[in-house]
Structure 1
Amino acid sequence: MGFKINWDALGIATSLACAIHCAVLPLLLTSLPIFGINIIENLPFEYLMIFLAFLIGAISLYHGYKKHHHRSGPFLMFGLGIALLLAKQTWHHLQVWFLVPAVISIVTAHFRNFQLCRRANHCHATDCNH
């Protein structure tokens, strides 16, 4: 049996890492600019994190959709979350109001995808670990 990646778990971890970055990092690492390092409100870094969340999430959800459950609900919830992350970048002064529902939406999409994979008739315990 080969190595398998649980894409939903990876997607949830990526979403939570993004939330931690956005919420906690400014509080803990405000001294980094003294050392010439700026990852707080660094637009390329922010868009890289959103792109990674999108890429991992899309792979995960597509796998679940194609091989297991054929339901679009997780895609819709995930799309809403990604749209809210992009809105956070557009209306930066409202970022907390966009970030919290974005992370909840993305994590819920991955969790729902995981549930649907588990419930699929052809899905056995080893098949759903992606």
Structure 2
Amino acid sequence: MNLKINWDAFGISASIACAIHCALLPLVFTSLPLFGVDIIENIAFEYGMIILALIVGIYALYHGYKKHHHNILPIALFIFGIGCLFAKQAWHEWQYYFLVPALLLVVLAHYINYRFCRVHDHAHKEDCDH
């Protein structure tokens, strides 16, 4: 069995999960502290999610860059997006001003990487996974 993971799709899914977490979790789970569960505004959880997105994103984007398209644009967009996520944590009162651009940049980076990987010149087919 040859299992291949589409890391860009995984990165986009993780970004969407992050958006759902950031937008809906506070609305849905506002009663969790009553039960002793506190994942809302949990700094360790927030940084853990950002670091997970960073690891998955860098792996996916670097693979696309190295093996397929050799274009730095997706990595640059992703780095700016992750930077906005860290800024969201550092300047909490401005979090919603950083959140939207962060998510847009991260998803856009994965989308552009996905598109670049699909249209690049296959002069090096032996290195490509698809």
Give TM-score scaled by structure 1 length. 0.93
Which stretches of structure 1, 4 residues or longer, exceed 3 Å deviation after superposition?
none
Q: Which runs of 5+ in 1 are unaligned?
A: none
> How far apart are the structure 1 equivalents of 2:16 and 2:89?
17
Which of the residues 121, 126, 129 maps onto 1:127? 129
* Aligned length in residues: 127
Alignment RMSD: 1.5
Q: Which has the higher contact order (CA 8 A, sep 6+)?
A: 1
Please show how residues 72-111 of structure 1 align to structure 2 within 5 Å.
Answer: 72-111=72-111
In structure 2, what is the equivalent of residue 65 of structure 1?
A: 65
For residues 12-35 of structure 1, what are the alpha-carbon distances to aligned partners after superposition, in whole Å with 9 as ceiling and x for unaligned? 111111111111100010000011
Q: Which runs of 5+ in 2 are unaligned?
A: none
Give TM-score scaled by structure 2 length. 0.93
Displacement of 1:127 after TM fit?
A: 3.4
**Residue 21 (structure 1) aligned with residue 21 (structure 2):** yes
For residues 93-115 of structure 1, what are the alpha-carbon distances to aligned partners after superposition, in whole Å with 9 as ceiling and x for unaligned? 11111001100000000000000
